[in-house]
Amino acid sequence: MTNPSAPLAGRREWTAFVVLLLPLLLVSMDVSVLFYAVPVISEDLGVTSTQQLWIFDVYAFALAGLLITMGSLGDRIGRRKLLMAGAVAFGAASVAAAYARDAETLIAARAVLGVGGATLMPSTMALVRNMFRDDKQRSKAVGIWSGAMAGGIALGSVVGGVLLEHFWWGSVFLINVPAMVLLLVLTPVLVPEFKDPRPGPFDLLSVPLSMGAVLPVIYGLKQIAADGFSLPMALCVAAGLAVGWLFVRRQRTRRDAMISRELFRHRAFGLGVTVNTLASVGMMGSAYFTTQYLQSVLGKSPLDAALWGLLPSLAVAAVAPLATTAAQKADKALVIAAGFLMGAAGYGLLALSDTDSLALTLAAAALISCGIVSVMAPASDMTLATAPPEKAGSAAAVLETGQEFGNALGMAVFGSVGTAVYRRDVTDALPADLPQGTLEAVRETLGGAVGVAARLPGRTGGAVLGAAREAFTHGMVVASVGGAVLLVLAALLSVTALRRAGDTSTAAAPEPAPASL
């Protein structure tokens, strides 16, 4: 229901919103901007394989581990103030990364980039909640926000590839600096300050507990996705869940909890976070396969693969605002369920792929992405709408942390299924006289198989490459069937659980006035 007493946002708020999209785009782009730069960086800095992994992963780990802390901190000190501090950190770390002269410096700079990203993400979403008090306007803004975030991840790899065609590898970091300077100049002028008027003391012990809950789970799931199931990684995930139980127990018993119990008074808040997390699982499951399929099965160059992969994102940018508009006019539960079913149909289409299905794969990826963003946009809006305005930073942080969990879980589950099928099929199909060391490299990954095939004589190399591509595609098909089933079940959950939750309109708590202008 629209709140008729809520003031409408004007030109100033919408201009401020455009400014807030800058950090969102850059933080999401930084997830993928290194895809093509790492080989050049490795050669220039003499990076080891372990250091290369940390250059990739430390950004995501710092981002995921600190989201809850930074969301709570923004509620206390002011979201605009935290946003500007994050912009300074992000800009400075970008310069340090661009001019790094060794792997250790680059890893440290990427970690600070993650810290900066953890301040920027919940701050921007919380400010959207505060600036747009009218339900329809807020829904539209959240839809654009969701589309920009999804588009930024896809755009990052393309921007990185284009920059590397013309400049040195540090340019993929330096593109952040002008945007951060612009943000620092315009934010004090356009964006009002909001914070909790009665925040209570900051719970310092919850900071390591929240990180101890999030990081081991995400790290363990990522390693399981990359290397298959192992007892140490299973124990790592279990340890994170155990710390998570301690964290939740502390939040439930303390008056100054980092995550306020007020957030969960409206049942739709927890359901919105759950639905958004399930959507993230579905999105990452698709991305895990389609990026490799375009490059290693169809044989596209990295930049060509990124450009083809950008096509589905164009549809996403248009669908996200439409989904939130539809959720204002129709039952949110039905809109979200329809999004899940659209994603399930996309997975069904992907299950029809063979080793030469470019158009089919792109159509399936577009359908999955549009379906998932049709879930995430209204679910994000519903989560923010049901949270008290003074807790918007914490609400955004919980929502985005769930998203990070969903990404890691989707990669682990879908990746493990696809890897298991790939290894079984490729082992059965490989030539019997293949050297043992070569066999292990081929069985490990599709990328490894492509590298091995390039070094083998013509007919043998062709046989290895053909077997690997067939095996990977079969793994993608099997995982896609599982993805379709998962999203159909998620659609049923949305219809039943969200309807039981009742009214998902904005909570009755009064909107706080800006702390300062």
Task: Write the DSSP assignment of 128-158 as a string of letters.
Answer: HHHH--SHHHHHHHHHHHHHHHHHHHHHHHH
β-bridge partners, 516: 193
Q: What is the residue-averaged pLDDT of the chain?
A: 79
pLDDT higher than threshold 50 for residue 137? yes
Highest mean pLDDT among 143-152, 185-194, 337-346: 337-346
Q: What is the pLDDT, as a whole number, of residue 512?
A: 45
Rama region for 46: left / alpha / beta (φ>0; ψ in -120 to 50; rest): left
Rounded Cα gap, residues 128 and 111, in angstroms: 26
Give helix 458-493 / helix 358-386 axis angle, nearest 10°: 30
The answer on pLDDT for 516 being more than 90 is: no
Contact between 241 and 430 (Cβ < 8 Å): no
Range 267-286 average pLDDT: 83
- Is the CA virtual torsion 463, 461, 36, 301 positive or negative? negative
CB 406 within 8 A of CB 274: no
Res. 4: pLDDT tops 60: no
Give the residue-averaged pLDDT of 83-100.
Answer: 90
pLDDT confidence tier of residue 433, bands split at 50, 70 and 90: low
Alpha carbon separation from 268 to 486, 499, 502 (Å, rounded): 21, 9, 8
AA identity, residue 285: G
Q: Residue 197, class by beta-carbon neighbours within 10 Å (0-12 exposed, 13-18 middle, 19+ buried)?
A: exposed
Stated pTM of the model: 0.78
Give pLDDT tens digits for 467-512.
Answer: 888 888 998 999 999 999 999 999 998 888 877 655 444 444 444 4
Amino acid 435: pLDDT: 65
Write down the pLDDT at residue 221.
77
Segment 370-395 mean pLDDT: 81
- Tokens read off for 245: 């139980």
The Cα 399–Cα 383 span in angstroms is: 8
pLDDT at 383: 82
Nearest Cα residue to 464 out of 435, 424, 430, 436? 430
In the structure, what pLDDT confidence band is assigned to residue 376 with cuts at 50, 70 and 90?
confident
Classify 516 as helix, strand or coil: strand
305-324 pLDDT tens trace: 777 877 777 777 677 777 77
Distances (CA, A) of 503 to 2, 126, 269: 12, 22, 11
Residues in CB range of 305: below 8 A, 6 or more apart: 291, 294, 295, 298
Q: Which is higher by pLDDT, 345 or 413?
A: 345
Max CA-CA distance within the chain?
77
Sequence-distant (6+) residues with CB within 8 A of 438 are: 452, 456
The pLDDT of 125-137, averaged and rounded, is 79
> CA distances (Å), 72 to each of 22, 52, 259, in order?
22, 32, 7
Percent with pLDDT over 90 in the chain: 8
Determine what percent of the chain is predicted with pLDDT higher than 70. Answer: 89
**Per-residue confidence at 347, pLDDT binned at 50, 70, 90?**
very high
**In this predicted model, which residue has the larger pLDDT, 86 or 501?**
86
How many CA atoms, within 13 angstroms, populate the side-chain half-sphere of residue 434?
A: 28
- The CA distance from 118 to 125, in Å, is 12
The pLDDT of residue 374 is 86
Q: Are 267 and 392 in contact (CB under 8 A)?
A: no
The residue among 84 and 512 whose pLDDT is bigger is 84
* pLDDT tens per residue, range 184-241: 888 888 877 777 777 667 777 778 888 888 788 878 877 776 666 788 888 988 998 8
Among 200, 288, 298, residue whose Cα is nearest residue 251: 200
What is the per-residue pLDDT across 57-72, written as a single tens digit (0 to 9) for each? 788 778 878 888 888 8
